[in-house]
Chain A
Amino acid sequence: MNMLSIRAQRFRKNPAHKAEFLGLLARPIPLPLINYVLDRTIVKITKKYPTLFNRLSGHHHKTFLIEITNLSFDLILCPNPASPHLLAIRKKTGFHADATISGSFLALIGMVDGRLDGDALFFTRDLQISGDTEAIVCLRNALDDVEGSVASEAASYFGPIGMLFLTILIKMANEHQYST
């Protein structure tokens, strides 16, 4: 039995292993493909929510490193309304960001989508932050004021398969909330 099959079995038996399994699936995806999707997504989202970054006030030019602890890559967000960027980078590239937010994929996506409370995630150590705290607070408040699902916007690029994948992730995120 190969490693993927073993992880798949654990996936079925224990919700806690689902994120790990999905992380494994995401591992072979080439960064340029991920970045193509992320780039289109951030442009689409900022067009749909033109006031999204208003709450960032003086922090539009800051860079945010989003460390996804159970995936093989991290994200960099530059929330400049004139030229927003969301990029995936390999871990440990030595990138210096103004602020760093670190958590599992499910914790992060749950917070971005307004289903999980960032403070509660912080209280349980499921979310860690460092660097410019004020910029992070502003970003959190900006994202929390979005109506609808940012994750759905991203998933919609993949059609029905993307939405199915997201449904699974949301179910896992809910399980994650009550297991902590």
Chain B
Amino acid sequence: MNINTQHKPELVCPAGTPASLRTAVDSGADTVYCGFQNATNARNFPGLNFTPAELEESIAYAHAHKAQVLVALNTFPPAGQFPLWANAVDLAYNLGADAIIVADIGVALYAKNKHSDLRLHLSVQAGAPSIEAIKFYCEEFDVKRVVLPRILTITEIKSLKQEIPCEIECFIFGNHGLMAEGRCSLTNYATGLSTNMDGICSPANFVSYQVDANRNLRTELNRFTIDSFSCSQNPGYPTICKGRYTVAHRDDPYYAFEEPLSLNLASLLPELIAAGVDAFKIEGRQRSKAYIQSVVSSWRKAIDSVLEGGSVNMDHLLSLTEGHKQTLGAYETKRWR
């Protein structure tokens, strides 16, 4: 395998709070991504994210430690609510963000026209997996980097890299909720709130956990049962795409969309670097700083080790994965299930 040691991929890490951001930077992140406390980002969870003052302090901390900060503005403004997104673009620019991550073409156009020196990254929420789609964003909005949907094999990524005029960022660890990214309406169907416009998947105020006397656990989203776990089973997140359902053609309930597990591409890291991936992204802005510290420092060591010709062992991260299970997903084969 031909690894270009001159090409050092960037490690892009999540932060849901200022403490997490500092932890990510201290643990070896090259770049940290975060969002404001509103619907402009796809992790608009209660008690999470940054006030403008917190973001300003956090950017100063990151820059002082030679790390960059990306601001996720990766949701889609509903009709009449565009000013919230426009203000967020202005804020991110004025606070000194190194780039913004966008999904909506209106937000991208606003940013390009208003702040021509603001770097744009295309969010995974834009769901752009083809050469044609990515070229469109590059040509029309001067997008500098695309975050690829988690539906491509390494072979496809390698060939894509040779055809597009921008950098490539790939997820390497964390949530593996694929669906059609940026187009999932399951939460909207169950709760009336939109993942893509309100920025929240499985809103916590609609989630309930029922535990019986035998420690069997049932998870519900607005009274829709997502899954039931016996006392010996490991649960996952209460998201519809990770639920277990009864369907006509099967005797037992089964995971109709995706199982509760996490993406972990440790074993494919050398191939991904050789494929020319410019940045590796860790998912998990909603996770704790304990997760950030452990995952970020492990991937920092792993990337540095591969570039020096060493090997990667990240078995210890299994304890942080959803349901204590992990997958290589579509990166290895489209038939991962």
Contacts and interface: CB of A to CB of B under 8 A. Distances in A.
B320 A117 contact: yes
**Chain A contact residues: helix, strand, loop or mixed:** helix
Contact of A57 (B46, B211, B321): B46
B201 to A, nearest CB: 13
Contacts of B288: 111, 114, 116-119, 140, 144
Contact of B323 (A56, A123, A177, A178): A123
B19 A141 contact: no
A177 B319 contact: yes
Contacts, number: 102
Given A134-B46, A138-B46, A140-B47, A124 B209 contact: no
A145 B47 CA distance: 10
B319 A180 contact: yes
Interface residues of A, number: 36
A137 B290 contact: no
A142 interface: yes
A167 interface: no
A90 B286 CA distance: 33
Given A57-B47, A119-B286, A125-B234, 4 more contacts: A117-B294, A122-B235, A140-B47, A141-B48
Interface of B: 16-20, 22, 45-48, 203-205, 207-211, 215, 217, 231, 234-237, 286-291, 294, 316, 319-324
Interface of A: 55-57, 110-111, 114-120, 122-125, 128-130, 132-134, 136-142, 144-147, 177-178, 180
25 contacts: A55-B48, A110-B290, A111-B290, A114-B19, A117-B291, A117-B320, A119-B287, A123-B234, A123-B235, A123-B236, A124-B319, A124-B324, A129-B209, A130-B208, A132-B205, A133-B204, A133-B205, A133-B209, A134-B204, A138-B46, A140-B47, A140-B288, A145-B18, A147-B19, A180-B319
